[in-house]
């Protein structure tokens, strides 16, 4: 071999080694923070997380292989959220999923730079999370969970399923950021249905049971339960109390009806969380939240529990049953 070729071969091999070494390096582990206000042991909340992780897996993100997910649970207590958000931000995630209005508010309070995808937030503009839906113009974007016009739909369901009702108790959590707009929408629609409203802000099971018992002392009553960490956490208390007092009740999510509630109408949460995975994927691949428009729900579900209807002495009309996405017998 000629000396020139020998030296060339050595230089070529040496140059190739760094590239080969880089090619064999493992993919960098990405970090996703997940903050929610629900209790850690809530089975329904776990199903939402499962929908999110399934969506991530379908997009190539597998926990423990190329992504780490750190979870923090507020246990239905809004006061805990700022400290939990601080813990997640200190971990320096690549993106955070904020799964409630209080979670999104806590993350925004801690950081105006870490990309954040919120989910189950009704009005992100009024809450100050984004400047507008089409162009968020900040580090937050995500998926809304309701339109406020749904409040009128809940009243319509009460009127159709229990025509004798004239009084409606609105059960809500005062700490939740979105109860006001919902209540105003329901108040605006109430006269057209001949309904009188009684708002009941609740913080714990004792207030829930007390307000329901007091309201039920007069006849022709029903209830609407607004979504919040408190009403989700204490849903069994609510369902048991309204059943005890014979109040037909409309709920915002399917899992209330599966647990024994009368009627639910609201967004399909598993679908919403799976769609959230798409935005997380896009951010991990370089997209900025400001360039991702806030998206509204695309899939709603109406669920009726006929066993509960029978216990309330109600007969659900064939037309309402025909519109239901699911009937529990």
CB burial of 256-289 (b: ≥16 within 10 Å; e: otherwise) equals bbebbbbbbbbbbbbbbbbbbbbbbbbbbeeeeb
- When pLDDT is cut at 50, 70 and 90, the band that residue 26 belongs to is low
User: How far is the C-alpha of 44 from the C-alpha of 39, rounded, in Å?
Assistant: 10
User: Within 13 Å of residue 62, how many CA atoms lie on the same side as its CB?
Assistant: 4
User: How far is the C-alpha of 300 from the C-alpha of 143, rounded, in Å?
Assistant: 14
Domains in the chain, CATH or no CATH each: 30-146+268-299 (3.40.50.2300), 150-267+301-328 (3.40.50.2300)
Range scoring the smallest mean pLDDT among 68-77, 112-121, 142-151: 142-151
List all residues 6 or more positions away from 213 whose beta carbon is below 8 Å from its beta carbon: 241, 245
Kindly state the average pLDDT of the residues 69-92: 93
Average pLDDT of the chain to the nearest whole number: 90
User: 128 pLDDT exceeds 50?
Assistant: yes
Range scoring the smallest mean pLDDT among 108-117, 147-156, 176-185, 283-292: 176-185
Kindly state the average pLDDT of the residues 316-328: 96
User: Within 13 Å of residue 158, how many CA atoms lie on the same side as its CB?
Assistant: 33
User: How far is the C-alpha of 142 from the C-alpha of 276, rounded, in Å?
Assistant: 7
């Amino acid at each position: 071999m000629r000396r020139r070729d020998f030296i060339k071969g050595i230089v070529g091999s040496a140059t190739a080694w760094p590239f080969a070494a880089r090619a064999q390096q493992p993919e960098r582990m990405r970090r996703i923070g997940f903050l929610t206000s629900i209790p850690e042991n809530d089975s329904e909340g776990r199903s939402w997380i499962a929908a999110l992780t399934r969506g991530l897996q379908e997009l190539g993100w597998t926990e423990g292989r190329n992504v780490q997910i750190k979870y923090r649970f507020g246990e239905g207590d809004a006061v805990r959220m700022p400290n939990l958000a601080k813990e997640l931000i200190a971990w320096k995630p690549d993106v955070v999923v904020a799964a409630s209005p209080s979670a999104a508010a806590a993350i925004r309070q801690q950081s105006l730079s870490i990309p954040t995808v919120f989910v189950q937030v009704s009005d992100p503009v009024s809450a100050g999370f984004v400047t507008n839906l089409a162009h968020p113009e900040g580090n937050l974007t995500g998926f809304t969970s309701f339109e406020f016009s749904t409040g009128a739909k809940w009243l319509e369901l009460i009127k159709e399923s229990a025509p004798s009702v004239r009084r409606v108790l609105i059960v809500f959590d005062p700490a939740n950021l979105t109860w006001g707009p919902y209540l105003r929408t329901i108040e605006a629609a109430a006269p057209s249905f001949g309904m009188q409203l009684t708002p009941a802000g609740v913080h714990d099971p004792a207030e829930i049971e007390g307000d329901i018992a007091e309201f039920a002392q007069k006849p022709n009553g029903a209830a609407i339960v607004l979504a919040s960490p408190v009403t989700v956490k204490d849903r069994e208390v609510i369902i048991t109390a309204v059943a005890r007092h014979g109040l037909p009740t409309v709920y915002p999510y399917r899992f209330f009806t599966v647990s024994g509630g009368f009627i639910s109408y609201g967004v399909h949460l598993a679908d919403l969380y799976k769609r959230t995975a798409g935005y997380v994927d896009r951010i991990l691949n370089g997209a900025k939240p400001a360039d991702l428009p806030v998206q509204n729900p695309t899939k709603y579900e109406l669920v009726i529990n006929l066993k509960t209807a029978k216990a309330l002495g109600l007969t659900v009309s064939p037309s309402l049953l025909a519109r239901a996405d699911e009937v529990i017998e």
